[in-house]
Chains A and B, each alone.
Chain A
Amino acid sequence: MKKKDTDELLKKYLEGKTSEQEEQLLRDHSDDSYFLEEIRFYDKSNKKKLSDSFDERIKKSIGSVDKKLHINTGVLFRVAAVFLLIFITVLLIQMNASYQQMSARMDTMQSALAITLMDQQSVHVKLKALELVGGLPAMQTELSTSLMELLNTDDNVNVRMAAIETMAGFPKDELVKKELIKSLGRQESFLVRAILVESLIKMNDPVILEELKRMIDDDRTELELKNQIKEILL
């Protein structure tokens, strides 16, 4: 029997439209290799012609085929899930790396912008620049130089106070700490000095506190500054 005929006959059989003769024909050709491959249930250990329980065998085999397919789908799904998980992990790592790179680049840009703005004449712009610096995670050398210049030379008291508060936001930066202490002797405004001493104390650094105590005992320290440190510190 030809492949095409077998296909049609099987289809007809599964739809329950076969005549007795056609069913007989199917039984007769049940040993054909193509037929065997097609219905997938032929058991090599049971090489005999299909019996009357043909329907039951087909049902059984369909069930086992479904089961096999189900098992195969499960395995495939798991493999796919593992691949997907690996893919997502790699993607996340890459995204995190690029985010960090981007973030570092943004910080550099923000820092550069702040330095440029600090150079402007307007006090409003300078305060904006200091606000930008306050949002940075770490102090950069060039930036700290600009900040120190602003702190020690700017005409405006509000700008100098804002510079102190911004710098005090980086308490782990050794250069910032040193410059803040050094700046105490340079500030003429009582208010700026007071804010500076307060900010230094807030940093809660033993070295700074020691330095402030030393300044109180030092004869070279201005009397007014001495009193101010004493008042806030003690």
Chain B
Amino acid sequence: MKMLSYFLLFTCCIEAGLKAQQLDPAPPIKVIENYTIELTRPWRSGLLKVETLYSRISVEAHDIDFVDIEIHDLQGSNEKYNSLDPNRWKNQELPFSFSENENDVILSEHAESETGLLLLIKVPEKFSVKLKSTVEDVFVLDLKGQIEANTKVGNISLNRIYGSVVANSVLGNIDVYYKEVTPRYPHAVSTLKGDLKLVLPANSSANVFIGCNNGKVKSEYPTKTSGKSDQNERIKVINMGMGEASIGLRTYFGNVNVYKS
């Protein structure tokens, strides 16, 4: 009887908890600022350079000829950003500064910033990006230009991309989902302590070199070991098609997974 009452109490508690969760969902991410940058030469491709310390960076490519920057408050707890204020940029109240010169858009976070913000940036499809976040994650979606992404702690996630990739993290995971692999420039993805995930279309023409010192390599494509000496056993190679593009993957403490798309 006692057991039953405990069980009923436990069930009630769980239900109450679930209801509380439903009634009180996570606070919505607030847009605290929005800014559109008209490009000087919209017919040409350009470069977006973003450097942050504590802010998350998310870049989406669209069929547009301007750059749109939205700043979101991830925690919803930054009261000073409770209302939208179009003068914030002008008054330099935001912890960012930006400049635009001949399609090169540069956005950098001030050193004194400590807020957990998200920069959601929409760019034209052919833009190239150079993104750097010290602590937070970096996302890129649907981009056709070249990508350079660096983090120290945050993860890097590049989805449905077409351009060449150079990405490095110290303690973060890196996911790269190629929609198409371009052979124009070599690709290099590395992390010291983190997993690497690569998704490649089956019709890719590329050679993938995988260096994995203290982890496992799993691949849906056949791999072979490069070289004959013992020291080379850590390098695995995937040969695809004519091998026009070169993709280098390297993790020192982590696993590597390669999937077919």
Contact = CB atoms under 8 A, between A and B. Distances in A.
Given A123-B148, A124-B146, A124-B148, A162 B252 contact: no
Contacts of A46: none
Contacts, number: 59
Contacts of B164: 124
Contacts of A191: 170, 190-192, 250, 252
A16 to B, nearest CB: 73
B252 A194 contact: yes
Nearest to B229: A202
Contacts of B21: none
Contacts of B185: 124-125, 127-128
- Chief secondary structure at chain B's binding surface: strand
A131 interface: yes
Given A123-B148, A124-B166, A156-B168, A190 B252 contact: yes
A127 B186 CA distance: 6
A94 interface: no
B188 interface: yes
Interface in B163-209: 164, 166-168, 170, 185-186, 188-192
Contact of A131 (B186, B192, B232): B186
Contact of A158 (B170, B190, B234, B252): B190
Interface string A99-118: 00000000000000000000
Nearest to A190: B192
A122 interface: yes
Interface string A147-191: 000000000111101100000000000000000000000000111
A127 B229 contact: no
Contacts of B213: 194
Interface residues of A, number: 22
A9 interface: no
B52 to A, nearest CB: 16
Nearest to A202: B231
A198 interface: yes
A158 B189 CA distance: 7
Nearest to A131: B186
Contact of A162 (B167, B186, B191, B231): B186
B2 to A, nearest CB: 57
B186 A157 contact: no
B190 A157 contact: yes
Contacts of A201: 231
Contact of A161 (B148, B167, B232, B250): B250
Interface of A: 122-125, 127-128, 130-131, 156-159, 161-162, 189-191, 194-195, 198, 201-202
Give the top 8 A-B pairs by smallest Cβ distance, nearest first: A158-B188, A124-B185, A127-B186, A191-B192, A157-B168, A123-B166, A124-B146, A202-B231
Interface of B: 146, 148, 150, 164, 166-168, 170, 185-186, 188-192, 211, 213, 229, 231-232, 234, 246, 248, 250, 252
